[in-house]
Chain A
Amino acid sequence: MSQKTPLYDQHVAAGARMVDFAGWAMPLHYGSQLAEHERVRTGCGLFDVSHMLVTDLPAAARGMLRTLLANDVAKLDERPGHALYSCLLNPQGGVIDDLIVYHREEGGYRIVSNAATRETVAEQLSVAAARAGIACQVRDDLALIAVQGPQAVGLLERCYGDAAAPLLALKPFGCHQLGALFCGRTGYTGEDGFEIALPAEQASELWQRLQELGAAPCGLGARDSLRLEAGLNLNGNEMDETISPLEAGLGWTVAWEPSERDFTGRAALEQQRAQGLACRLVGLVLDGRAPARAGYLVQTEAGDGVVTSGGYAPTLGGPIALARIPRQADEETCQVVIRGRPVSARIVRPPFVRHGRVRV
């Protein structure tokens, strides 16, 4: 039996095709994934992401988070009202999850992590908190709505009027509490937008109101094609507990300084860095129309690689992929094997699309 988000009835009433995702009944699309994708690139789309794990920790969790996370929350010390993207690693340097940690203006931290790793991450945080003698609160009382697209700003302005000013003033990765709403200028689409946490019982009203103002409800399908075009990693695809952030194009999220900060996985990452990485994550733009899918073989002159995510890119009108290939491969093209046939692909640096424009 799948769990339901506070917006479940809204999805069903809108005729969404519901699927099970990590034990949650979620909308895949509301008729057309392509149309939803387009709305986010050119207008505004809404995503129910209430299945994600929201955990609140007090200011005293600073030390614990500096030990737990590969990025350093000390970077947020002077910046209440800002967020940081980080991986949570195992001692071998593999990625348990990627998450966003917000340093709240009123003090304390809010962590938003993936639904698929909900139990593991909740367990890690609660054990670490218990050891440090601090409170760790899972916020199952909140719903999470992502409002994404170039018109997201205008929409919130129309929705909240003058009261929206502090939200509109947020810089990327800024966050602000506005009454019952906790709002971050974050997202997973490559477009401008916000992610809003609010009391579950208020979620339906906001969901409907934003649609009345012109936003389109979007499902997990569009969420995936948008993040792929934006070149954003999906935990379980681009990384997992056997892949380090260095191998997944997330080296920039690892805070090496100060060198005495001994976070979980640090020793393994340092060893990996000293030995040199075997592989790297790249973007591929394939010839023809056949999409490459996760798991497909990639052939380079330096050896074989693998597609980690792939599919049709609506904004480019053709197939793209993320792939892990040998570090030494420095050619401009490679081959992806699709049903036994090699298809030529251009090796590019993601993102493929950012703020509505093709970048490759």
Chain B
Amino acid sequence: MTQVPNDLKYTQNHEWVRLEGDGQVTIGVTDHAQESLGDLVFVEPPEAGAIVRAEEACAVVESVKAASDVYTPVSGEVVEINETLADSPELINTDPYGEGWIMRIQLADASELDTLLDAAAYQELIADEG
């Protein structure tokens, strides 16, 4: 069964966002996304310190079959990336909401969070996709 934790926010592009409460958010791809992608073999995160804008493709995850962009739903500075993914991209398959996180961003504009989906809305979105 696809996991959609209640304490996270979501995007239409199947990223999840965790509010860390210190003006920072952690971003990854959802369980539904990793299931669709299949076995992941490569992750290209943004560089720490990079300034990113909402809706921008700033990371790439590649499964055995194809490459997919990861979009940041919020603007800000990338303060940390998950370096373990370089050697263990499969963490996104095995623990998409935990050890498979991709990047942490210092929010530039907290109001951008208002556009995100809650768990119920995201659940509905993936149900519609079949």
Contacts and interface: CB of A to CB of B under 8 A. Distances in A.
A29 B38 CA distance: 8
Given A221-B65, A311-B64, A312-B64, A289 B38 contact: no
A225 B41 CA distance: 13
Given A291-B62, A339-B44, 5 more contacts: A29-B38, A33-B65, A34-B41, A221-B65, A289-B41
Nearest to A341: B44
Contacts of B39: 29, 32-34
9 contacts: A17-B35, A17-B38, A221-B38, A221-B65, A224-B65, A225-B64, A289-B86, A291-B42, A339-B60
Nearest to A28: B38
Contacts, number: 43
Interface size class of chain B, counting residues whose CB lies under 8 Å from the partner chain: 10 to 19
Interface residues of A, number: 18
| For the complex of A and B, 7 pairs with smallest distance between CB atoms | A312-B41, A34-B39, A33-B64, A289-B42, A33-B39, A312-B64, A291-B62
Contacts of B89: 289
A312 B42 contact: yes
Contacts of B42: 289-291, 312, 319
A227 interface: no
A293 interface: yes
Contacts of B66: 293
B120 interface: no
B89 to A, nearest CB: 8
Contact of B44 (A29, A32, A221, A290): A290
B67 interface: yes
A333 to B, nearest CB: 21
Interface of A: 17, 28-29, 32-34, 221, 224-225, 289-291, 293, 311-312, 314, 319, 339
Contacts of A34: 39, 41, 64
B67 A293 contact: yes
B6 to A, nearest CB: 26
A73 B96 CA distance: 54
A221 B64 CA distance: 8
Interface of B: 35, 38-39, 41-42, 44, 60, 62, 64-67, 86, 89
A221 B62 CA distance: 14
Contact of A291 (B35, B38, B67): B67
Contacts of A224: 65
Contacts of A339: 44, 60
A314 B42 CA distance: 12
Nearest to A288: B42
Contacts of B38: 17, 28-29, 32-33, 221
B31 to A, nearest CB: 14
A195 to B, nearest CB: 23
A224 B41 CA distance: 15
A225 B67 CA distance: 15
Contacts of A314: 64
A33 B39 CA distance: 7
A33 B67 CA distance: 15
Contacts of B86: 289
B9 to A, nearest CB: 27
B50 to A, nearest CB: 15
A221 B65 CA distance: 7
Contacts of A289: 41-42, 86, 89
Nearest to A219: B38
Nearest to B86: A289
A225 B64 CA distance: 8
A32 B89 CA distance: 14
